Amino acid sequence: MSIKVSTVRLDEGQANELAVVARADKMPVSEAVREAIAKHIAERRHDQEFKARLKKRMEEDREVLERLAE
């Protein structure tokens, strides 16, 4: 598995709360963020409205890619 480094900008209050939550859960902040992202993605996979928007976006992107490939 390769690792990609990303930057997340948080306001000071949110950053402090995240740090406290991570310490209480005895994990690094980066792990708390990865868990939150994984949960968010899992929720989206079960959201029918999101899936419909995703399918529409895929169709729009396919049309553009096909035009570019001509």
pLDDT in tens, 11-68: 999 999 999 999 999 999 999 999 999 999 999 999 999 999 999 999 999 999 999 9
Q: What is the DSSP letter of 25?
A: T
For residue 7, pLDDT beyond 90: yes
- CA 34 vs CA 17, 29, 40, 62: distances in Å: 16, 9, 10, 30
Token output for 66 = 């096909």
